[in-house]
Amino acid sequence: MTRITGSTNSKIQLARRGVRGLKPYQPGKPVAELEREYGVRAAIKLASNENPLGPGNLVREATQNISGLLCRYPDGNGYGLKQALCRQLELEPEQITLGNGSNDVLELLARAFVSARTEVIFSEHAFAVYPIVTQAVGGQAVVTPAREWGHDLDAMAAAVTPKTRMVFIANPNNPTGTWVKRDALRAFIARMPSHVIVVVDEAYFEYVQEDDYPDALQWLSEFDNLVVTRTFSKIHALAGLRVGYAVSHPDIAELLNRVRQPFNVNSIGLLAAEAALADEEHVQRSREVNNMGLRQMSEGFESLGLGWIPSVGNFVCVDVGRSGDEVYEALLTRGVIARPVTGYGLPRHLRVTVGLERENRRFLAALQKVLEQTGP
Ligand SMILES: *Cc1c(COP(=O)(O)O)cnc(C)c1O
**Rounded to whole angstroms, how far apart are CA atoms 166 and 216?**
16
Please give the distance, rounded to the nearest whole angstrom, from the Cα atom of residue 204 to the centre of ligand 1: 8
CB 325 within 8 A of CB 343: no
- CA 27, 210, 247, 132 torsion: positive or negative? negative
- The more confidently predicted of residues 115 and 22 is 115
CB 242 within 8 A of CB 269: yes
**Alpha-carbon torsion angle 115, 120, 124, 129, nearest 10:** -50
CB 149 within 8 A of CB 296: no
108, 180, 231: residue to mutate for ligand 1 pocket, most atoms within 8 A of CB: 231
Is 265 in a helix, a strand, or coil?
coil
Residue 297, amino acid: M
**For 50-73, how does the pLDDT look when each residue is reduced to its tens digit (9 = 90+)?**
999 999 999 999 999 999 999 999
CB 106 within 8 A of CB 231: no
Half-sphere exposure of 165 (CA within 13 A, CB side): 17
Least Cα distance to 206 among 222, 230, 225 occurs for: 230
Ligand 1 atom closest to the Cα of residue 175 is: 15
> Averaged over 22-36, what is the pLDDT?
90
CA angle 219, 134, 137 (to 5 degrees): 120
**For 149-161, how does the pLDDT look when each residue is reduced to its tens digit (9 = 90+)?**
999 999 999 999 9
Ligand 1 atom closest to the Cα of residue 233 is: 9
Please give the distance, rounded to the nearest whole angstrom, from the Cα atom of residue 201 to the centre of ligand 1: 8
- CA 297, 298, 301, 302 torsion: positive or negative? negative
Least Cα distance to 140 among 112, 170, 110, 169 occurs for: 110
> So what's the pLDDT on residue 8?
62
Half-sphere exposure of 237 (CA within 13 A, CB side): 22
CB 215 within 8 A of CB 357: no
Percent of the chain with pLDDT over 90: 91
Residue 357, amino acid: E
Residue 1 predicted with pLDDT over 70: no
**23 pLDDT band (50/70/90 cuts)?**
confident
Please give the distance, rounded to the nearest whole angstrom, from the Cα atom of residue 209 to the centre of ligand 1: 19
Please give the distance, rounded to the nearest whole angstrom, from the Cα atom of residue 48 to the centre of ligand 1: 9
Residue 14 predicted with pLDDT over 80: yes
CB of 103 within 6 A of ligand 1: the answer is yes
**For 128-171, how does the pLDDT look when each residue is reduced to its tens digit (9 = 90+)?**
999 999 999 999 999 999 999 999 999 999 999 999 999 999 99
**Rounded to whole angstroms, how far apart are CA atoms 316 and 312?**
8
Residue 4 predicted with pLDDT over 90: no
Residue 10 predicted with pLDDT over 90: no
**For 292-343, how does the pLDDT look when each residue is reduced to its tens digit (9 = 90+)?**
999 999 999 999 999 999 999 999 999 999 999 999 999 999 999 999 999 9
